[in-house]
Structure 1
Amino acid sequence: MERRIAPSADPAAALRPPPVLPAPKHLGRLAEERRARRAAEEAAAARDAAAVADLDLPAEGEGAIPAVEAERRRGRGALSNAAGRFEPHAREAFDDGWQSLDDLPAFKTTVTPERARTIITRNDSPDVGFDRSINPYRGCEHGCVYCFARPTHAYQGYSAGLDFETKLFAKPDAPELLAKELSKPGYEPRTIALGINTDSYQPIEKEWRLTRRILEVLSDFGHPVGIVTKSALILRDLDILAPMAERGLVKVALSVTSLDHKLARVMEPRAATPQRRIEAIRRLSEAGVPTAVLVAPVIPAINDAEIERILDAAVAAGAGEAGYVMLRLPLEIRDLFKEWLLANFPDRYRHVLSLVKELHGGKEYDAAFGQRMTGSGPYAWTVARRFELATQRLELNRRSVRLTTRHFRRRPQKGEQLSLFGETG
């Protein structure tokens, strides 16, 4: 049976929009959520714009240091390349209207041989557990924007920014200088820290092999050494490290700042990936080399949430000790870090700097011994307590590996008589 519908008496009724019915309740909630997200995004954009004013840099047109073009600094950590603090003149690249900036080459790594007079550097800092160190290289290609060694490049007449990552110095006679210093009659052996100022296993070590030759000298003399690195290249030297570990002559600390691959790439563009560093801990431990993990630096509101995860992964790989260092912003690092932070985490800019100042009594950095590595105040206490609880849970730092000097034997000097039993007098 067919049902017929009578046509409307009003032809215009077909052209009118249908009546608006009340929207289901769940659609109202979705609309509210969209409005809330849009408001949050607008607020974040406003904070980002306001954050620019917080940079303690000269205003544009008054000697400001602009960021170097992204293509020229691809794969680098710093964004700018301000002149060194000891330089009498500031230099700035600018476009004169003829697209002259397009002709500037990308930053490439160069290595300049440096003839040093001595190779062992001594310090009396109560904040570190060693009084002597060796740095076969100046500058570091890893590109960590927060590296505390950046300001030292000013002594070479270079910038703490991109120059520090690209204009490197190597000490080709470092192994020979080390053997000479260890052979002095008055030398008293104590653990030498290797790669503290700049990473001794940074990429140029593949070609220069200075760290490997230094380890060969230390092994030959029976001298203890502690190594800190962010590079999996250390596994290349397991044939030296494992026998040294059997004699109690070496321990290694791997610095792991994040397990997030993307975050690690932003923080340390040319260092080994977090997974490769954890794998290095595993292989070193399996070879009998005492290993530790360093969460260094802890950057407030950037990687501080990962402390427990990093320690968990390191312990699973075989690490027996752990430590951490809070972010430090001395000298040029302050402005370099602010540029980096604003470019990569603009929404956290104010919050990060607020926590940094909280660490140092309202200042962005405090160089006082006992404060500079850990900071003070509620936030510093919270991080310290979290780290303490995690190490207790994981049974880290139960036993600290102490290296020995009992194997140390210096080479006999020319004309020096050997003892009856083959030991130097």
Structure 2
Amino acid sequence: MRDQLLRKPVNDWDLEVYGLTEAELAEVIARFGSVKKVGGHFGVFVMQGIELALPQGPGFRLASDMATQKACRRRDFTINAMLWDPIQGDLLDYHGGREDLARGVLRLTDPETFVEDPLRVLRAARLAGQLGMRIAPETAAACRALAPALDDLPWERIQKELVAWLLRSGWPGRTWDALVETGAIGLFPSFRGLQGVPWQDGPGLAGDAWTHSGRVLDAAAGLRQGNRSRDLILMLAALLQDLGRPDRGRYEVRGRWQASGHEAVAVTRARHFLQRWFPSQSLQGAILPLVRWQAAPQELHGRQAGKTAYLRLALRLPDRRLFLDFVRMLTHVAGISCQAIDQTQAIWSAAGLLDGQPEPWIRGDDIKGMGLSPGPDFRRWLEMAYRLQLSGRYPDRNTLLQRLLHIRKRPISSHAS
């Protein structure tokens, strides 16, 4: 109902059914197709993307005979406490949800029932950014009082809200600020350290690292493509990229705040965050390289590094196009020229490294043919052969193999070619 009133695309249909028991509801909807029951404390049925549920009483117990007005009172926010009666064709709005929606105000429905689920604290912050709404003062106060109870919730429920924030929010930077407003920031102590750390995003954009991170989140949201996996990697990297600044910041002689080397510290803190809320090794393997090497193109450009250094960077990144999008976005937010990013892209493109990697010319059998047995140095030889291939200095496999045989005659510690 909420999204219809906002004239937004409706992606989820939620139907609340009154006057039936759980068994009766299951029997009725089974006539229309395959049904899956989800939810632990109460029955929610999913059929063809539509969720059907019975009203809930205290303690999330089913209460099929509950009146609609009493059921709506148990909803989290007034904008979510509206129902549409398809039989009578009426909007049931007992708590002023439509007016709050028009005013852009997020207001809790009932103080007594609001405290039953601490996740509503994080949801308030998420909806503020998703819908671009301001949180009513009394609702923010209720959230701050309830926020300590977030620590007792399963990580899966927290993760679900974080994903909804990062993938569905039109103004994720608004949610970023609302974490403080609602007290939900207590779940993420490493974020709080960004407050008060000086930072400036170009002329006229002074602030702190907290403000900068909010701008980064909003900018990253503009790069989402509707690919859930890619977009989540991008948004989590944007969320975590600045976490090392509090440890590495210092004032330069000319009064400008610098945080040289903050990326390595950020990786450590980002890993801790991901292990707590997104315990997926593949996801971490995609995000952490973005955080760790975010400054590499600027550093390579600044010291006029050779092609080999750029190729070495490419091999550290599982998705180079996403990396380039990510670091280009960071440079725009910081008000820095993108020349370094353009140069990195040009070198990688010439080497065929933007999409996947060229097949290696030299394989294990070739290394064995050079008289080396499998062991600690074997992989190093393969990696060196691949770097030399990508350098563009060798026109074909045979020329490269001759070069490796020449290097083989020297101590391995000198393999810098």
> What TM-score range do you get, normalising by the shorter chain?
under 0.3
**Higher helix proportion:** 2
Higher relative contact order (CA 8 A, sep 6+): 1
* Higher Rg of the two aligned structures: 1
- State the TM-score, normalizing by the size of structure 2: 0.27
